[in-house]
Amino acid sequence: MQRKRLITIIGPTAVGKTALGIAFSKAYQTEIISCDSRQFFKEMTIGTAVPSTEELEAAPHHFIQNLSIHQDYSVGDFERDAIELLDQLFKKHDEVIMVGGSALYEKAITHGLDDFPEVPEAIEQQLEKELNQDGLDALVEELRKVDHEYAAKVDISNPRRILRALSIYRSSGETFSSFRTSTSKKRSFEVIKIGLEAPREELYARINHRVDVMLKAGLLEEVRELLPYKELTALKTVGYQELFPYLEYNYSLEEGIRLIKRNSRRFAKRQMTWYRKDPSVTWFSYKTRHTEIVKRVQEKFMES
């Protein structure tokens, strides 16, 4: 019986994952699952680099602008929904493609998530209140005291991660780190990981250029329409958070653009730090022809 395979394409932002995913989809006559959590929301198009109309028509895509920013949607929800969809897709296809730069969401499908306890809503609400009143730094300091191990690893500028770790600790009395495990869930499919990489300076130039293109395409107008909802979790992301203060007259547009580019570069660096820890990834230069990468993967299938 033919083994079912999930070909997942990973790498930093702006490296060219979307185009490679479409190339694989065409080669295998199959469909694409997006694991880019920023592209789930229909109100966020330009700032999340949603595939173009032409790209979406070139291959069937799933989990692209399928939600509203007003809906709560966790990585656990994505794991459940994506695994359910994969079960259906593998009835029609031997291979399915997954593309995206949200490392935790990619891990949810390829390895599964750790089992954390339920957190009472009252604790979550209290933490949100403290975040708004005291700021993120105070919560980061608390996390360092109660869970130094996780505080040393987590992106301390990401309020969602900090709140999540503290909510687990406050509700259970146990650290977030104690619930984390390296044990992978058994999946019914084989996972093939393809990574795209670029020299740092070239990647940073691509990121800067992408931001310029987004601005010309109307990013500022998109962010302006979303300003009333700036506190929603979905909008606490690069490209939006930097322009809200400009629209509220806190600094210049030039400063907002500078911060988007800087924070995008930092995000790319964190992505690569995460992905580099995974020895199962086969890496290719972003300049490698897509046909060559597809050929190399097909040869690998034939050898296995």
122 known member of a binding site: no
Whether residue 183 is annotated as binding a ligand: the answer is no
Ramachandran area for residue 116 (φ above 0: left; ψ -120 to 50: alpha; else beta):
beta
The backbone torsions φ and ψ at residue 277, rounded to the nearest 5 degrees and listed phi first, read -75, -10
Burial of residue 152 (CB within 10 Å: 0-12, 13-18, 19+) is exposed
Which DSSP state fits 230?
T
Q: Is 11 annotated among the ligand-binding residues?
A: yes
Is 199 annotated as belonging to a binding site? no
Residues in CB range of 56: below 8 A, 6 or more apart: 64
Residue located via tokens 């966020």? 44
Phi and psi, residue 53, nearest 5°: -55, -40
DSSP letter string over 42-70? TT--TTTTPPPHHHHHHS-EESSS-B-TT
**Residue 124: strand, helix, or coil:** helix
Is 12 part of any known ligand binding site? yes
Q: Is 14 annotated as ligand-binding?
A: yes
CA 272, CA 30: separation in Å to the nearest integer?
Answer: 27
The residue type at 104? L
Annotated binding-site residues read 11-18
Annotated binding-site residues for ATP read 11-18
Annotated binding-site residues for substrate read 13-18
